[in-house]
């Protein structure tokens, strides 16, 4: 069953690609294609690092993605609460703080790479969104390859802890990321014509 993300405002992230279209859809935007390709490599590499960090953090806190632990807690794995929302309350406080700060550092790194790669505000913003989307998709691919999780696109995940816990099904951030990538490609091609 598909459910909305929580808190409710997170659902509005789906508007990001459409806002890009609204701003740059008619005339397009001149984007350095070579940098977009280089930033794909950065996003994929950073996605792996993030996935590895999450796996190590969960291992250190004895909190790995584990269907059996869901069943032992008398919580159905079909029930989203077992997969994530229920688990946020069980993370030891020191690991929660580390995870919270790690997420702030992640955003700082993604913003920084956009600032370094771009020349104008528009290009910097586009590069930030591009790397964010590539990173997000790579993160879930590497989690699946390394840990066997997410179990499906309907699996729940902590999408972010900053400023408070966001959670939702995995399909949602993947859809936002794919639409963002498609929109950036569209508006960069539009500028050529």
pLDDT tens-digit profile, the chain (193 residues)? 566 677 787 888 899 999 999 999 888 888 888 999 999 999 999 999 999 988 887 766 655 555 555 444 444 444 444 555 556 666 778 878 888 899 999 999 999 999 999 999 999 999 999 999 999 999 999 999 988 888 889 888 888 888 878 888 899 999 999 999 999 999 988 776 5
Domain count for the chain, please give it. Answer: 1
86 located within any domain: yes
What is the model's pTM?
Answer: 0.84
137 located within any domain: yes
79 located within any domain: yes
Determine the structural domain holding residue 95 and report its residue range. 36-192
99 located within any domain: yes
For helices 121-147 and 33-60, the axis angle rounded to 10 degrees is 40
């Amino acid at each position: 069953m598909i459910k909305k993300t929580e808190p409710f405002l997170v659902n509005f992230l789906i508007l990001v690609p459409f806002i890009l279209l609204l701003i740059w859809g008619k005339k397009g935007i001149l984007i350095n294609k070579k940098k977009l390709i280089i930033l794909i490599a950065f996003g994929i590499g950073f996605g792996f690092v993030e996935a590895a960090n999450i796996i190590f953090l969960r291992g250190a806190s004895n909190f790995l993605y584990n269907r059996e632990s869901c069943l032992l807690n008398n919580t159905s794995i079909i029930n989203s609460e077992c997969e994530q929302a229920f688990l946020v309350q069980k993370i030891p406080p020191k690991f929660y703080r580390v995870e919270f700060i790690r997420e702030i550092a992640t955003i700082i790194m993604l913003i920084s790479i956009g600032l370094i790669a771009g020349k104008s505000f528009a290009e910097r913003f586009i590069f930030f969104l591009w790397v964010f989307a590539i990173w997000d998709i790579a993160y879930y691919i590497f989690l699946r390859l390394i840990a066997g999780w997410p179990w499906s696109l309907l699996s729940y995940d902590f999408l972010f802890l900053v400023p408070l816990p966001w959670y939702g099904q995995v399909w949602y951030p993947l859809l936002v990321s794919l639409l963002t990538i498609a929109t950036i490609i569209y508006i960069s091609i539009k500028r050529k014509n």
